[in-house]
Homo-oligomer: A and B are copies of this chain.
Amino acid sequence: VTLTTQQYTLGSLILMVSYGACFAFILFFMMNSQNLAPRYRLVPILSAVVMASAGLSLLQEFNLWKDSYAFVDGAYRPLAENETFTNAFRYGNWTITVPILLTQLAIAMGLKQSDIQRRSLRMAVPGVLMIWAGLYGQFGEVGDFSHLNLWGVVSTIFFLWLILEVRQTLISGINNTPDILKPWPSNLWWFFLATWGLYPLAYALPQLGATGDIVVARQAIYSVADIFSKLVFGIILTRFVLRRSSYEG
């Protein structure tokens, strides 16, 4: 797909802002881990790890974006036919970050050590299967939407399974949560659905047409979803465990 100068610039801007935000917030999470009860310290530490790994993959996407287009005859044209630009790095990165994000959730809910392990594993399995099904579907992206859709459906089934497991985790979390903080887990539930739910939209988007606007809109949706499901999620969980630490003494 050929992009106008505006579209091209907007795309690189979105990617730059995303990786910049990720790298910058490493510091935020590292500094915050000091003020917590030891059992919750891992929550911001893991957010710092997520930020570093997401920042690196978004930096790769940014470089790939620049390398995939050349300015010829007043527009940015893909250097190779069949799109060398790919979102695959994002999917690779999610393979690491999704299990970490879900583990953070189990830790923040204040579950027992053995429950944390069991619950994290039960969430990580459908999470990783969902991503790999989507990654495999992505590869067939060019031209053939039936491949994209078939694997999108497979991935969505894993997503539904994941949603049930996350719900389970939050429900067992509510019981251990000090009364005054009880609304947090259910707010987290809606936050989770709203932010993770954006990814399938971006995945399905190319079917609306092979235009520059759609290419850029896809980057925008993926990036907004990334910032909310990783960075804002990390901030919320860190504040939650800060409160927990002070109520639980």
Contact = CB atoms under 8 A, between A and B. Distances in A.
A81 to B, nearest CB: 8
A10 B136 CA distance: 10
Given A31-B30, A31-B41, A82-B5, A56 B19 contact: yes
Interface string A63-90: 0000000010010000111101010110
A2 interface: no
Which of A27, A38, A46 neighbours the largest number of chain B CB atoms within 10 Å of its CB? A27
Given A16-B57, A82-B74, A96-B21, A27 B26 contact: yes
Contacts of A207: none
A93 to B, nearest CB: 6
B30 A50 contact: no
A17 B88 contact: no
A88 B49 CA distance: 28
- Sorting the interface of chain A by its residue count into under 10, 10 to 19, 20 to 34 or 35 or more gives 35 or more
A35 interface: yes
Contact of A95 (B17, B30, B41, B56): B17
B20 A57 contact: yes
A139 interface: yes
B27 A30 contact: yes
Contacts of A16: 56-57, 60, 89, 92-93
A49 B21 CA distance: 8
B30 A52 contact: no
A33 interface: yes
Given A71-B84, A95-B17, A56 B23 contact: yes
